[in-house]
Structure 1
Amino acid sequence: MIEETATVVAATPDHIWVEARASSACSSCGTQDSCATSSVSKWFGMRRQQLRLPNQFASSVGEQVIIGVEDQVMVTASLAAYILPVVLMLGAAIIADVQGMSDKQQAGIALLGLLLGLLGAGVLTSNRRMNRYFQPQLLRRADTFTLRQIEFKPFTGDTP
């Protein structure tokens, strides 16, 4: 399960709207000061995304909650978004080659296959039944826990 902390920005008795900041991997990297990718990431900024979820914990505005998506959902979404367009593009290019088309025609057919794959991925992930499948779930309230100090005793050898 992939989990993320989100903030409740609006609430009714039935639903809450949560906002999670989409951050890049660069925000946790130690070399982000000298990396060109990090510079580009900072230029585009952080995106905010709001989701509507059932209010099963009677959450209120300002509260921190944990939302999650099953691993299998992420695999399915990745396959739909990345693999389907590429497979259709390659399949269209192979069919165009077998038909004896010119290179320009093959490129055009391959581009058409890619566009059909992207369209198919969009249709697959946006229909009503699949929309519920891809919807993140409200898992729990974010715990505010306290850290307790651990006292370490110096090593004195093998004697207890």
Structure 2
Amino acid sequence: MIEETATVVAATPDHIWVEARARSACSSCGTQDSCATSSVSKLFGMRRQQLRLPNQFSSSVGEQVIIGVEDQVMVTASLAAYILPVVLMLGAAIIADVQGMSDKQQAGIALLGLLLGLLGAGMLTSNRRMNRYFQPQLLRKITPHSLPLSLKGRGEQDFITGDTP
């Protein structure tokens, strides 16, 4: 399961709207100071995404929650977004070549195959039934951690009672 922290920005008894920041891979890379891709990423900034989810934990505005997507959902979405258009483009180009078309015609047919693949991927992922499949799940609330009563360490004084170990 792929998990992400999100903030509740609106809430009703039935649904919450959460906002998660989309981070680029450049934010965790060690060479981001000397990389042109990192500079472009900083130029466009961070995108904010808002999602509507069922309010199963009675969350309220301002709370932090964990949302998640199953690994298989990510694989399916990746295949639809990347593999389907490329396969249709290559298939269209091969068919155009077998038919004996000119290079310009083959390029045009390949482009048409790519566009049909992108359209097909969009239709597949926007289908109402599949929309529920791709929908992230609300996993849990993030609760603030309470401080321990005793902050004793080696040779330190107990802050609660004033005793030494």
Cα deviation, 1:106-138, whole Å, max 9, x if unaligned, reads 000000000000000000000100000000000
Give the direction of change, closer, same or farther, for the CA distance of 1:98–1:22 in structure 2 (3 Å limit). Answer: same
Distance 2:99 2:136 in 1: 45
**Does the 8 A contact of 2:9 with 2:19 survive in 1?**
yes
2:11 aligns to what? 11
Q: TM-score, normalised by structure 1?
A: 0.88
Distance 1:151 1:33 in 2: 45
Query: After superposition, where does 1:6-155 map in structure 2 within 5 Å?
Result: 6-141=6-141
Superposition RMSD in Å: 5.4
Give the direction of change, closer, same or farther, for the CA distance of 1:12–1:93 in structure 2 (3 Å limit). Answer: same
Which protein shows a greater Rg? 2
Q: How many residues align?
A: 151
Identical columns (%): 94
SS in 2 for 1:13: coil
Give the direction of change, closer, same or farther, for the CA distance of 1:158–1:78 in structure 2 (3 Å limit). Answer: farther
Distance 2:98 2:29 in 1: 47
Give the direction of change, closer, same or farther, for the CA distance of 1:99–1:5 in structure 2 (3 Å limit). Answer: same
Cα deviation, 1:26-46, whole Å, max 9, x if unaligned, reads 111222111111101000110
Give the direction of change, closer, same or farther, for the CA distance of 1:158–1:16 in structure 2 (3 Å limit). Answer: closer
Q: TM-score, normalised by structure 2?
A: 0.85
Give the direction of change, closer, same or farther, for the CA distance of 1:100–1:51 in structure 2 (3 Å limit). Answer: same
* Uncovered stretches (5+) of structure 1, i.e. residues with no partner: 142-148
Which runs of at least 4 in structure 1 moved beyond 2 Å after TM superposition? 149-152, 155-160
**Does the 8 A contact of 2:11 with 2:60 survive in 1?**
yes
Q: Alpha-carbon deviation of 1:159?
A: 27
**Does the 8 A contact of 2:157 with 2:164 survive in 1?**
no
SS in 1 for 2:21: strand
Q: Alpha-carbon deviation of 1:151?
A: 15
Give the direction of change, closer, same or farther, for the CA distance of 1:56–1:101 in structure 2 (3 Å limit). Answer: same
Give the direction of change, closer, same or farther, for the CA distance of 1:150–1:23 in structure 2 (3 Å limit). Answer: farther
Give the direction of change, closer, same or farther, for the CA distance of 1:35–1:159 in structure 2 (3 Å limit). Answer: same
SS in 1 for 2:164: coil
